[in-house]
Amino acid sequence: MSNLVPVARQLLSKSLAYLPTPTLGRVPQRYQPHQPIINPYQEEKNLTHLGQRIITSLEDRWAIVGMTGSGKTTMAKKLLDHLRDAYPAARVYILDSKQAGDFDDVDGYRINDEIAPDILRTPGAVQIWQPPDDDLDQYDAWFKKILLHRQPAIIKVDESASIINKNGDAPEYYRKLNKLGRAFGVCLISLTQEAAYIPRTLLGQATHIVRFRLLDGYDVKKIDKLVGRPKEHHGLDLPDPYGFIHRRVDKALPGHYYKNHQEFFGG
């Protein structure tokens, strides 16, 4: 017994550094912080009714085509209002390469720099990017930031002719957003004056096509076919100045003619 006392003293006098270092194993999954919620607006639970017949979600891609002054921007702004009401946490990114004052009444962060702006930190915020020139690399960098952020968003490209290259296609990350954005609830709305300027990727991936009045041309017939007009009507003008045909293309539903956006949205 008396032998044990010095041993105990010796042990107690040793610094704690002599204690074995605990080894940290992999923290089990249940103790890890929660994964961020990817798309809180999954389509199956978050469909939105626009007007009487049209159903949409943040997973949709809209191609809106029509000649200058046909009402595209006006209609797309109403669409944006509806989507923002339905999905208030979605960030809104507007690319306004035309800078004709169409978004002066929209409340948001305005950026006039040529460098792609950063993603929005606040859910529900609005960014209006009005770059001085069309720089496809910067557009690509912008789309990339939005995709990598992986948060619900609405992207509106007011003139898709600005973002396409000479092969008629859009930058890599725009194409990726078209393909992958659904998982995060990234909705794309692209407008253009001529059917030829609809990015090729978008034509393949669009869920909604809206055809306003168009100048006659080869591509007009192509669009008329897509929106389900009977063959004998291909290329024919529409009867009202702000009228358009809308078709949900991914569900192979028939197209419908609306005399203006008021009739479409039921307002």
Ligand X SMILES: Nc1ncnc2c1ncn2[C@@H]1O[C@H](COP(=O)(O)OP(=O)(O)OP(=O)(O)O)[C@@H](O)[C@H]1O
Q: Where are the alpha helices (DSSP H) in 15-151?
A: 72-86, 136-149
Of 1-9, 67-75, 104-112, 168-176, the window that binds ligand X (rule: CB under 6 A) is: 67-75
CA 123/CA 152 separation, integer angstroms? 9
Q: Map residues 187-216 to x or -, x wherever contact with ligand X holds by CB under 6 A.
A: ------x-----------------------
Q: What minimum distance in Å lies between the beta carbon of 102 and Mg ion? A: 6
Burial of 23 (0-12, 13-18, 19+ CB in 10 A): exposed
Closer residue to ligand X (CB): 120 or 198: 198
Whole-Å CA distances, 231 to 103, 227, 249: 37, 11, 17
Site residues for Mg ion, window 62-81 (CB under 5 A)?
73
Asked whether position 260 contacts ligand X by CB under 6 A, the answer is yes
Token representation of residue 264: 């479409």
Contact between 88 and 153 (Cβ < 8 Å):
no
CA 87/CA 68 separation, integer angstroms? 30
Decide which of ligand X, Mg ion, none touches 70; Cβ closer than 5 to 8 Å per partner kind: ligand X
Decide which of ligand X, Mg ion, none touches 168; Cβ closer than 5 to 8 Å per partner kind: none
Which residue type is seen at 89?
A
Of 80-88, 118-126, 215-223, 256-264, the window that binds ligand X (rule: CB under 6 A) is: 256-264
Site residues for ligand X, window 211-250 (CB under 6 A)?
242
Asked whether position 162 contacts Mg ion by CB under 5 A, the answer is no
Q: What minimum distance in Å lies between the beta carbon of 120 and Mg ion? A: 23
Closer residue to Mg ion (CB): 147 or 154: 154
Contact between 90 and 123 (Cβ < 8 Å):
yes
Closer residue to ligand X (CB): 21 or 68: 68
Closer residue to Mg ion (CB): 73 or 205: 73
Question: In which residue are the tokens 């890599």 written?
Answer: 172
Closer residue to ligand X (CB): 58 or 79: 79
CA dihedral 158, 149, 83, 42 (to 10 degrees): 140
CA 29/CA 24 separation, integer angstroms? 14
- Interacting residues with ligand X (CB under 6 A): 66, 68-74, 193, 242, 260-262
